[in-house]
């Protein structure tokens, strides 16, 4: 009898995981233990939500001696690329094609947020400064590692490549533009607005569309917004067709619901930047129509076990599990 009790005491409890993603057992309201069933057929939406749930202490404003302060801009940019890395296989392929971004994503996946922030800031000329108050534009030298074409709002449209007219031309009224990826078939269009510069006032009158089609019949869907309020910036991303989530490094809970329509009705916030994702690119092997209107085939991307999970579309059961997870995470409206 005593021997059985000793075995019972020394037995280690196995952690609950879903394909290497831990599931929390603790209810956020009162700390009681709850059992969740394993969601079947995880799609990218469900897996992303599980990762958000696992990272309850996602990137937050650093505190303590010798820590960077006012890091809302670099933190929002890091979160932006990390979320897109999780959601889209072709964005993942783009990010890991650059050594710096590959190391950055590996670091974020390990939850080493302070180290990832330091890696990012070290790429800047003024990396010695502890106060990291900055504009999005000051971080362009890092983003430009992935950029294949760019044109500023007040710059004449270049004519040395069809991308400027056929693709970027559709975004010209909205602000400064950067295409990330391959010039023949860009993966991301970044729109930037210098909201404090009166020269950008005309483009601020435009409400950003939820989708843009270029001359090659590719669709670029609005996936991420960087929003400014006073001297603070936070990031909003599209979790699913009807759900938008806010990431804010200065709040207790880093992720919260967002009423998307609110962004166009509040006078004290500005949309500083937007990310449009090329949804015409296939997730497993990138195919697309290049700027010369010929079908091109990219190098096939070998899917890992986690990538295969991401490539599955959520079933109805998975969506119901997602709703349960969101309730357990106690994500409230912003």
In this structure, are strands 287-289 and 295-297 parallel, antiparallel, or unpaired?
A: antiparallel
Segment 45-97, tens digit of pLDDT: 565 665 565 555 677 777 665 688 889 999 999 999 999 998 899 999 999 99
DSSP 3-state percent helix, strand, coil across the chain (nearest 5): 35, 20, 45
pTM: 0.73
| Token reading at 242 | 């009807």
Q: Hey, which residues does 271 pair with through a beta bridge?
A: 227
Average pLDDT, rounded, for the chain: 74
- What is the dihedral angle through the alpha carbons of 332, 85, 152, 182, rounded to the nearest 10 degrees? -150
Torsions phi, psi for 256 (to 5 deg): -145, 160
Q: Which residue has the higher pLDDT, 236 or 258?
A: 236
Torsions phi, psi for 295 (to 5 deg): -70, 130
Is the predicted pLDDT of residue 37 greater than 60, yes or no?
no
User: At CB < 8 A and 24+ separation, what contacts does 285-290 make?
Assistant: 286/90, 286/93, 286/185, 288/184, 288/185, 288/218, 289/185, 289/216, 289/217, 289/218, 290/184, 290/185, 290/216
DSSP H or E segment with residue 121? helix 113-121
**DSSP state, residue 156:** P
DSSP E strands in 167-278: the ranges are 176-182, 185-192, 211-213, 219-229, 232-238, 244-247, 255-258, 269-278
Measured between alpha carbons, how far is 299 from 332 in angstroms, rounded to an integer?
Answer: 42
**Could you tell me the pLDDT band of residue 33, with boundaries at 50, 70 and 90?**
very low
Q: Which residue has the higher pLDDT, 58 or 189?
A: 189
Q: Which domains does the chain have, with CATH numbers?
A: 15-299+319-329 (3.90.70)
| Token reading at 109 | 């996946």
**Could you tell me the pLDDT band of residue 103, with boundaries at 50, 70 and 90?**
very high
DSSP H or E segment with residue 297? strand 295-297
| Token reading at 96 | 């890991």
**Could you tell me the pLDDT band of residue 173, with boundaries at 50, 70 and 90?**
very high
């Amino acid at each position: 009898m005593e021997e059985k009790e000793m075995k019972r005491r020394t037995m280690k409890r196995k952690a609950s995981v879903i394909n290497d993603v831990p599931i929390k057992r603790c209810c956020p309201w009162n700390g009681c233990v709850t059992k969740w069933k394993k969601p079947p057929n995880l799609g990218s939406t469900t897996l992303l939500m599980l990762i958000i749930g696992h990272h309850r202490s996602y990137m937050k404003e650093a505190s303590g001696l010798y820590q960077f302060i006012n890091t809302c801009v670099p933190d929002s940019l890091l979160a932006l690329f990390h979320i897109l890395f999780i959601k889209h296989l072709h964005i993942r392929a783009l990010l890991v094609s650059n050594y710096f971004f590959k190391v950055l994503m590996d670091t974020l996946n390990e939850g080493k947020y302070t180290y990832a922030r330091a890696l990012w800031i070290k790429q800047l000329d003024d990396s010695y400064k502890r106060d990291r108050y900055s504009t999005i534009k000051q971080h362009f030298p890092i983003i430009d590692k992935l950029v294949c074409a760019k044109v500023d709002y007040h710059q004449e449209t270049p004519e040395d490549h069809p991308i400027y007219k056929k693709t970027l031309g559709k975004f010209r009224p909205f602000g400064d533009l950067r295409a990330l990826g391959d010039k023949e078939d860009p993966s991301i269009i970044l729109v930037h607005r210098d909201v404090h510069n009166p020269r950008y006032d005309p483009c601020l009158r435009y409400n950003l569309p939820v989708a843009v089609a270029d001359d090659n019949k590719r669709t670029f869907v609005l996936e991420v917004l960087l929003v400014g309020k006073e001297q603070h910036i936070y990031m909003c991303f599209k979790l699913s067709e009807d759900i938008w989530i806010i990431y804010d490094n200065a709040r207790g809970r880093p992720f919260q619901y967002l009423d998307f329509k609110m962004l166009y009705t509040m006078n004290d916030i500005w949309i500083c930047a937007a990310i449009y994702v090329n949804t015409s690119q296939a997730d497993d092997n990138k195919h697309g129509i290049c700027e010369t209107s010929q079908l091109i085939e990219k190098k096939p991307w070998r899917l890992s076990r986690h990538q295969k999970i991401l490539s599955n579309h959520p079933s109805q059961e998975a969506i119901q599990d997602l709703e349960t997870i969101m309730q357990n995470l106690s994500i409230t409206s912003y």
